[in-house]
Amino acid sequence: MLLVNRTLFYGVSMTTPANTLSGTPVVPGVAAGPVLLVRGEVSPDAIARYGDGDFADPEAALAAYDEAVAAVADTFSTKAASAQGAAAEVLTASAGLARDKGLRSGVAKNLQAGQGPVTAVQGAVDQFVTIFTTMGGLMAERVTDLRDIERRVVAHLVGEPAPGVPTPTEPSILVAEDLAPSDTSGLDPELVTALVTERGGATSHTAIIARQLGIPCVVGAAGITALPAGTFVVVDGEAGTIEQGADPDEARARVEESRRVREELAHWSGPAATADGLPLKLLANVADGASAQSASTEPVQGVGLFRTELCFLDRKDEPSVEEQADIYAEVLAPYSDGRYVVVRTLDAGSDKPIAFATQAGEENPALGVRGLRLSFDNPGLMDRQLDGIAAAAERTGTETWVMAPMVATVAEAADFAGKVRARGLKAGVMVEIPSAALLAHRMLEVVDFLSIGTNDLTQYAMAADRMATDLAHLTDPWQPAVLQLIAITAHAGREAGKPVGVCGEAAADPLLATALIGMGISSLSMAARAVRPVGAQLGKVSLETCEAAAEAVLGAPDPMAARTAVRELLGH
């Protein structure tokens, strides 16, 4: 509790030079180059020139629509062929959606009613958007794809280049309002050397893609899309700045230095410890057997978050206990060599709807029946999952910890812990709701460990939807209020002598990781890709510096000041 009221003024300058824009830094590194603007909308002039297209009859107009759709769908399919994993699936789905028969009948009807092709397409898509939005969940998320299809079909009809990412002819900084999966799949990190968006938060699609590509990224940079295409800028993905007018030689030197540092980080191979030898625990976040297998070859001591719900996003019916045990055993098996896995029970609902678990038609699903709350009315769902986890633990012999998401009260924690311990497993809960952080010391009386989910803790502490692309400045784990809640939880863990880890995106931020260790966080769990940069950064600092970083962030008035204070302490 000691840390809560402590304030410290670092005297850092909060003003940025007039020719510098700033946003939320999400992937560190420096890049320099001309701005490459993503074309968002089809030019209204081109649409006006095209008019109703001068077709002899509605059939001829429909034939033009069919040709445009075929071209758009082919583009998606070609991109899908050269993409991998989730990106390939999204693009194949977009190709299917473009060719949708229902959409075509809507367009045909509008053409028969005398509309021109552009108006007919826009009207039919509007209708679909309304239907998808009303259906909610995953369908509502397809609205972005529908609008993308609409823009592409209209562009083809009126003879404009397709909206989206123009092909760069030299290494460039990609700038956009926000980026859709179809924009970012297949980007070449040699030609697109950084991403900057006007909207979008730390967990947005843009940020995830930038991390995958290993290129610097700043999101929520107000005013960035007003920069003329071709403007030479220097992007600093650690400071969150975009500077214009920099000296090109100086910029080149900064980019080179940043590349050298990133290469050095990529070669870090553990074991994790501070510079003065305090051993640290770095863990991986995984989603299924394949990701667990590939993360097991990284320098990690285990899995700190297995998001079980991600195994069931496409399932209509609840899998049997045996089937669940098979799926979980695939994740546990690679860690039977003395490492451990923290399995999280289903976090269905809200942004992760699952057909067999999610409640339909909630007004406010993020505050509704999600995570642990699904078991209130359906305790069998939890019991069967715990049986599956226990069977997988026994089969693989892997040390297995189990935690529940979205725990609000000590009674919920105690009830859950009883069920987990009855199966011989270690029991914990996630700290994602501010009430759980404020009562961390009492939670620790009834559970074996806590794991802080900073993504949701930030969303609930700041009352800012983690998916809202225009609230990036609030959905930032560097916000002082979020850091205070983390500090309270870490402090409770130290007093109780029980582990308190962080498994949200905050753990993947090398700068923030130093402050988290300084607060007394006992493990950091992150996307496998983030482990080496975080481990390398922590290996360069002493525990004393980590503690100074913790003091600095807890005393800082806002996220930017907190970041600046830590960067100064670390000599960045």
Q: How far apart are CA 506 and CA 509, in angstroms?
A: 6
Do residues 233 and 242 lie in contact, with contact meaning Cβ atoms separated by under 8 Å? yes
In this structure, the chain runs to a length of: 572
3-state secondary structure of 196: strand
Q: How far is the CB of 532 from ligand PEP (least distance, A)?
A: 20
| Closer to Mg ion by Cβ: residue 291 or 454 | 454
- Residues 173-202 contacting Mg ion, CB under 5 A: none
Answer yes or no whether residue 456 interacts with Mg ion by CB under 5 A.
yes
Tokens 């907190």 sit on residue: 562
Piece of 169-177, 257-265, 450-458, 484-492 that binds ligand PEP (CB under 6 A): 450-458
Stretch that binds Mg ion, among 144-152, 182-190, 425-433, 462-470 (CB under 5 A): 425-433
What is the pattern of x (binds ligand PEP, CB under 6 A) and - over residues 259-298?
A: ----------------------------------------
Start-to-end CA span in the chain (Å): 30
User: How near is the Cβ of 399 to ligand PEP at its closest, in Å?
Assistant: 21
Give yes or no for residue 351 binding Mg ion (CB under 5 A). Answer: no
Active-site residue among 311, 473, 491, 503? Answer: 503
Q: By CB under 6 A, which span of 41-49, 116-124, 362-370, 448-456 interacts with ligand PEP?
A: 448-456
Phi/psi of residue 32, each to 5°? -135, 145
Q: Which does 199 bind (CB under 5 to 8 A by kind): Mg ion, ligand PEP, none?
A: none
Q: Least separation, in Å, of the C-beta of 461 and ligand PEP?
A: 12
State which of residues 24, 385, 455, 545 lies at the interface with ligand PEP (CB under 6 A).
455
Parallel, antiparallel, or unpaired: how do β-strands 30-37 and 172-176 relate? parallel
Alpha-carbon span 12 to 566, nearest angstrom: 11
The site partner of 234 among Mg ion, ligand PEP, none (C-beta below 5 to 8 Å per kind) is none
CB of 347 to ligand PEP, least distance (A): 6
As a whole number of angstroms, the distance between CA 92 and CA 99 comes to 11
* Residues 554 and 483 sit within 8 Å (Cβ to Cβ): yes
Question: Given candidates 168, 334, 453, 555, which one binds ligand PEP under the rule CB under 6 A?
Answer: 453
User: Which amino acid, one-letter code, is at 534?
Assistant: V
In the bound state with ligand PEP, the residue whose beta carbon lies nearer, of 352 and 563, is 352
Place of tokens 């807890």: 554
Q: How many helices (H) and strands (E) does the chain have?
A: 23, 16
- Alpha-carbon distance of 83 to 335, in angstroms, equals 30
Comparison of 299 and 368: residue with beta carbon closer to Mg ion = 368
Task: Pull the structure tokens for residue 95.
Answer: 């190709």
Instruction: Look at the block and give the residue holding tokens 């001591």.
Output: 301
CA 58 to chain centre: 45
Pairing of strands 241-244, 20-22: antiparallel
454 binds ligand PEP (CB under 6 A): yes
Binding mask 501-540 for ligand PEP (x = CB under 6 A): --xx------------------------------------
Residues 101-140: x/- map of binding to Mg ion (CB under 5 A)? ----------------------------------------
State the nearest-atom distance from the C-beta of 474 to ligand PEP, in Å: 15
3-state secondary structure of 436: helix
Size of the site for ligand PEP (CB under 6 A): 10
Per rule CB under 5 A, is residue 304 in the interface with Mg ion? no
Active-site option among 205, 217, 473, 546: 205
Tell me the C-alpha distance between 418 and 409, whole Å.
Answer: 15
Contact of residue 183 among Mg ion, ligand PEP, none (CB under 5-8 Å per partner type): none
What is the pattern of x (binds ligand PEP, CB under 6 A) and - over residues 474-503? Answer: -----------------------------x
Piece of the chain touching ligand PEP by CB under 6 A; list 58-66, 163-171, 292-300, 452-460:
452-460
Residues of this chain, 331-350, that bind ligand PEP according to CB under 6 A: 347
Shortest reach from residue 405's CB to ligand PEP, in Å: 6
222-227: long-range pairs with CB below 8 Å, 24+: 222/21, 222/23, 222/198, 223/21, 223/198, 224/21, 224/23, 224/175, 224/196, 224/197, 224/198, 225/37, 225/175, 225/176, 225/177, 225/198, 227/21, 227/35, 227/37, 227/175
Q: What are phi and psi of 188, to 5 degrees?
A: -95, 115
Please state whether the peptide bond connecting residue 271 to the residue before it is cis, i.e. omega within 30 degrees of 0.
yes
Q: What is the closest distance, in whole angstroms, from the C-beta atom of residue 285 to ligand PEP in the complex?
A: 7
Residue 205 annotated to the active site: yes
Strand 241-244: give its sheet, edge to edge: 20-22, 241-244, 232-236, 30-37, 172-176, 192-197, 217-219, 24-27
Binding residue for Mg ion, selected from 116, 453, 501, 555, defined by CB under 5 A:
453
Please, what is the angle between helix 321-332 and helix 379-396, to 10°? 50
Region near ligand PEP per CB under 6 A, out of 6-14, 274-282, 454-462, 556-564: 454-462
Smallest distance from ligand PEP to CB 226, Å: 33
What's the closest the beta carbon of residue 289 comes to ligand PEP, in angstroms?
18
CB of 43 to Mg ion, least distance (A): 41
Q: Which is nearer to ligand PEP, 178 or 347 (CB)?
A: 347
- Candidate ranges 205-213, 322-330, 384-392, 447-455; the one touching ligand PEP (CB under 6 A): 447-455
Q: Which two tokens stand for residue 169?
A: 């002819």
Assess contact for 34 and 232: CB atoms under 8 A: yes
CA max distance for the chain: 80
Quote the CA–CA distance of 272 and 268 in Å, as a whole number: 9
Which one of 243, 432, 509, 551 is in contact with ligand PEP (CB under 6 A)? 432
Residue with smaller CB distance to ligand PEP, 240 or 349: 349
What number of other Cβ atoms are within 10 A of residue 290's Cβ? Answer: 12
User: Which residues contact Mg ion (rule: CB under 5 A)?
Assistant: 432, 453, 456
Catalytic residues: 205, 503
User: Which residues contact ligand PEP (rule: CB under 6 A)?
Assistant: 305, 307, 347, 432, 453-456, 503-504
